[in-house]
Amino acid sequence: MPAPVVMVIGTASSVGKSTLVAALCRLAARRGLRVAPFKAQNMSNNAAVTADGGEIARSTAVQAAAAGIAPTVAMNPILIKPEGQRRSQIVVEGKPWQTLAAADFWQRKALLWPVITRNLDALRAEYDLVIAEGAGSPVELNLKAGDLVNMRVAVYAQARTLLVGDIDRGGIFAQLLGTLMLLEPAERRLIEGLIVNRFRGDPALFVDGVRILEERGGVPVLGVVPWIEDLDLPAEDAVALEQAQPTPAQGLTITVIRLPAIANFDDFDPLAREPGVTVRYIDHPAQLAGAAAVILPGTKHTLAARRWLRERGFDEALRRFPGVIVGICGGYQLLGERISDPLAVEGNGGDE
């Protein structure tokens, strides 16, 4: 008999789904269950490498670690790695498949549904429990016909589904109740309960809120999860970099240039945890002032990053920079005198 599936969907991106799936994986593992995470499709340039050399999203690898198992490509069979200019590299079962414009990918999405079901079925045959994660909102009505990762997965697996909202953003009632309202009846029947995430303060003050959600939503509130500072988990994607940057304090400031299609920037998280070190992501040469070092990170489109650096004035600013300059992955290529892509491996190719 296939293993049951618990699915965590959210009212929007960045409401805490990935962290909650990791937490549920750890809880299930501690109770003696053989549990695996699953995310049908992820969009991120923060990637991890499996033992057999396949690529999956870093967040899925973290969830596998929480479950106490090695990550495999079955846990994240489709990974979309944005290159900019509305183009992305599509990684299928750990290997590059095609580089497509957004419209072209939309037309080919139907080809990928069997890939998703095959890998989910394999996990359900191997483990006692699968905890699946959705992406963004399940009720983006203009995109729902091409859904590969939210309620289509839940319906296929008849998953016991949890809906998560982020109260720290505000509008928690509209988030949760609005999402419930827009689900199809067959989808709504799968919702086992609601989770209010990132609550600050005394939960006793939200007792009435829980009652209102349950009365109007018709499902229980299964948890009010507190705001937790500094979880030190890798960010799923570059959305995290849109948050306010830390103000440099006494000590060492390291700047990371926020290149277009920046990749694996969570590699720098350990630097940010060092006492006396401030890591700041910058997008203008003037922000280099006061930095002891500057890092050029990885990027999914090196030529575009090279042009962006020149247009922003970073070329001259880096020549004058008195501190240490470090390039990693694509950033190391950017330190060269010339970059040539005659075979158009990235975008339209070219020479810079």
Q: Sketch the domain layout of the chain as residue ranges.
A: 5-226, 244-351
Same fold, 5-226 and 244-351: yes
Give the pLDDT score at 28: 98
Give the burial class of 19: count Cβ atoms within 10 A of its Cβ; 0-12 exposed, 13-18 middle, 19 or more buried: buried
> Taken in order 280, 283, 285, 286, is the CA torsion positive or negative?
negative
Class for the domain spanning 244-351: alpha beta
Check if the beta carbon of residue 45 is closer than 8 Å to that of residue 263: yes
Give the pLDDT score at 246: 65
Give the pLDDT score at 82: 87
Tens digit of each residue's pLDDT, the chain (352 residues): 899 999 999 999 999 999 999 999 999 999 999 999 999 999 988 899 999 999 999 999 999 999 999 999 999 999 999 887 788 889 999 999 998 888 888 888 889 999 999 999 999 999 999 999 999 999 999 999 999 999 999 999 999 999 999 999 999 999 999 999 999 999 999 999 999 999 998 999 999 999 999 999 999 999 999 999 877 776 665 556 666 566 666 789 999 999 988 888 888 888 888 899 999 999 999 999 999 999 999 888 888 889 999 999 999 999 999 999 999 988 999 888 888 888 777 767 777 7
For the chain, how many helices (H) and strands (E)? 12, 20
Taking alpha carbons only, the member of 5, 10, 33, 35 closest to residue 20 is: 10
Q: Decide: helix, strand or coil at residue 109.
A: helix
Integer CA distances (angstroms), 233 to 163, 227, 228, in order: 21, 14, 12
CA dihedral (57, 63, 65, 68) in degrees, to 10, reads -140
Close Cβ partners of 171 (under 8 Å, ≥ 6 residues apart): none
Give the pLDDT score at 103: 86
| Residue 294, amino acid | V
Integer CA distances (angstroms), 275 to 37, 251, 252, 278, 282, in order: 33, 9, 9, 9, 21
CATH of domain 5-226: 3.40.50.300
Give the pLDDT score at 36: 98
Q: Which one-letter DSSP state was computed for residue 321?
A: -
Structure tokens at 317: 């600013």
Q: What gap in Å lies between CA 61 and CA 234, rounded to an integer?
A: 10
Residue found under tokens 């962006």: 308
Integer CA distances (angstroms), 311 to 272, 283, 285, 325, 326, in order: 29, 11, 11, 19, 20
